[in-house]
Amino acid sequence: MFRREGSIPLRSSAAALCNNLSVLQLPAHNLTHFGVVHGPSAQLLSAAPEGVPLAQRQLHAKEGAGVSPPLITQVHWCALPFRVLLVLTSHRGIQMYESDGSIMVYWHALDGGDAPPVQAVFARGIAASGHFICVGTWSGRVLVFDIPAKGPNIVLSEELAGHQTPVTDIAAEPAQGQDCMADIVTADDSGLLCVWRSGPEFTLLARIPGFGTPCPSVQLWQGIVAAGYGNGQVRLYEATTGTLHVQINAHARAICALDLAPEKGKLLSAAEDTFVHIWKLDRNPESGDIEVGHCHGECIPDTQVCGARFCDPSGSSFAVTGYDLAEILRFSSA
């Protein structure tokens, strides 16, 4: 069971975007950072365990060429082995900051020169694997940035061309050392999933076809791809083969966020039906089959949920954002 904790006030409502919440836990400082997008700005908040907001910072999208302020599409902390960067994507480009948002260390402008006039240009979908940060784009290409141990000498090292429609989300998990280990999965508006192995050159391991509905959110855990779809389904696939193991009719409306607590194998799903569900994933040691149990369901009444994340790696607490809701709701296990 989870109980409601004190909420964290926001200066303004979260924008109606999928995956509109990022969480970074700093156990050494007993702090948790939260990041939320609102129009042309992103709000960063630091909170103590009891929910008291200690600091707030507002970041704005770099203007670039154009007359109107560009809208931000996502904010996400990327934990690399040697540093943590905050990545902000918008309709103009990709901005990377030190983890507290104080210093911008890199700016990559999007080139929409080959896009048709009616095509919106944007970046969306952010994940880190090893010393790489991957960012999705409107064209379906995934940009791979090589990140140094310190300093601003970030390099665009590769562009992955597995998708034909806009990327929606990217997920990663640390590779365990096996040669065929899948450690990156990318999703797009058609529902197509691409599974990759990262390295000096990324390798496409599997393409998991869509079925006519977008895949707004995706996660990766111990070789299992968890994908949330626009029809409310959660599907679990074998990462390296694309084999469908489990299909859950989890929600009545489109899923807007998935998250994983890696220490316990808990999966969080949130959707436009106002519900947040928590599931337990296990792999049967004898058969290798994936088994799923339902742990908890939480209704966020009269709210268009747009972001939800676990606040710790064991999945004992989670946070939720909603459109037209000027606070971050927090829940913890009783």
Q: What Rg, from alpha-carbon coordinates, does the chain have? A: 18
At 27 the three-state DSSP class reads helix
Digitized pLDDT (tens) for each residue of the chain, 334 residues in all: 899 988 999 998 999 999 999 999 987 778 899 999 999 999 999 888 766 667 789 998 887 655 678 899 999 999 999 999 999 999 999 999 999 999 999 999 998 666 666 678 999 999 999 999 999 999 999 999 999 999 999 999 999 999 999 999 999 997 654 545 889 999 999 999 999 999 999 999 999 999 999 999 999 999 999 999 999 999 999 999 999 999 999 999 999 999 999 999 999 999 999 999 999 999 888 888 899 999 999 999 999 999 999 999 999 999 999 999 999 999 999 7
Neighbours of 205 (CB within 10 A): 19
Residue type, 246: V
Residues 72 and 37: their CA atoms lie apart, in Å, by: 7
DSSP state, 14? B
DSSP collapsed to 3 states, 128-181: EECCEEEEEECCCCEEEEECCCCCCCCEEEEEECCCCCCEEEEEECCCCCCCCC
Q: Please give the domain boundaries of the chain with CATH numbers for all domains.
A: 2-62+70-333 (2.130.10.10)
Sheet holding 203-208, edge to edge: 167-172, 184-188, 193-197, 203-208
User: How big is the CA angle at 108 (ends 104 and 113), to the nearest 5 degrees?
Assistant: 150
Q: Which distant-in-sequence residues (6+ apart) come within 8 Å of 327 by Cβ?
A: 7, 8, 9, 10
Cα dihedral 30→42→298→293 (10° resolution): -80
Burial class (CB within 10 angstroms; exposed 0-12, middle 13-18, buried 19+) of 215: buried
